[in-house]
Structure 1
Amino acid sequence: MTGLRTTAPRGEPLRQFIKYLLVGGLNTAISAVIIFAVQAAGALPVVANIVGYAMGVGLSFALNSKFTFRTAATRHTAIRFLIVVLISYLANLATMVSVLHLTHAPYLAQLCGIPVYVIVGFLGNRYWAMRERAR
Structure 2
Amino acid sequence: MNDLRTNAPRIESLQQFIKYLLVGGVNTIISAAIIFVVQAAGARPVVANIVGYAIGIALSFALNSKVTFRTAVTRYSAIRFLIVMLISYLANLVTMLAVLHVTHAPYFAQLSGIPVYVIVGFLGNKYWAMRER
Q: Report TM bin, short chain.
A: over 0.9
Question: Which runs of 5 or more residues in structure 2 are unaligned?
Answer: 1-5
1:37 alignment partner AA: V
Query: Relative to total residues, which structure has the larger helix share, 1 or 2?
Result: 2
State the match for 1:80 in structure 2: 80
Q: Does 1:58 align with 2:74?
A: no
Q: CA deviation at 1:9?
A: 4.0
User: For each residue in 1:49-76, what CA deviation from the matched residue of structure 2 results, as whole angstroms up to 9, or x when unmatched?
Assistant: 0000000000000000000000001000
Structure 1 vs Structure 2 CA RMSD: 1.1
Q: Does 1:95 align with 2:92?
A: no
State the match for 1:3 in structure 2: none
State the match for 2:105 in structure 1: 105
Change beyond 3 A, Cα 1:111–1:10: closer
Q: Does 1:40 align with 2:40?
A: yes
In the TM superposition, structure 1's runs of 4+ consecutive aligned residues that sit over 3 Å from their partners are none
2:94 alignment partner AA: A
State the match for 1:30 in structure 2: 30
Q: How many residues align?
A: 127
Q: CA deviation at 1:10?
A: 3.8
State the match for 2:71 in structure 1: 71
CA distance, structure 1, for counterparts of residue 52 and residue 35 of structure 2: 5
CA distance, structure 1, for counterparts of residue 10 and residue 112 of structure 2: 29
CA distance, structure 1, for counterparts of residue 99 and residue 73 of structure 2: 36
User: For each residue in 1:21-58, what CA deviation from the matched residue of structure 2 results, as whole angstroms up to 9, or x when unmatched?
Assistant: 00000000000000000000000000000000000000
Question: Which runs of 5 or more residues in structure 1 are unaligned?
Answer: 1-5
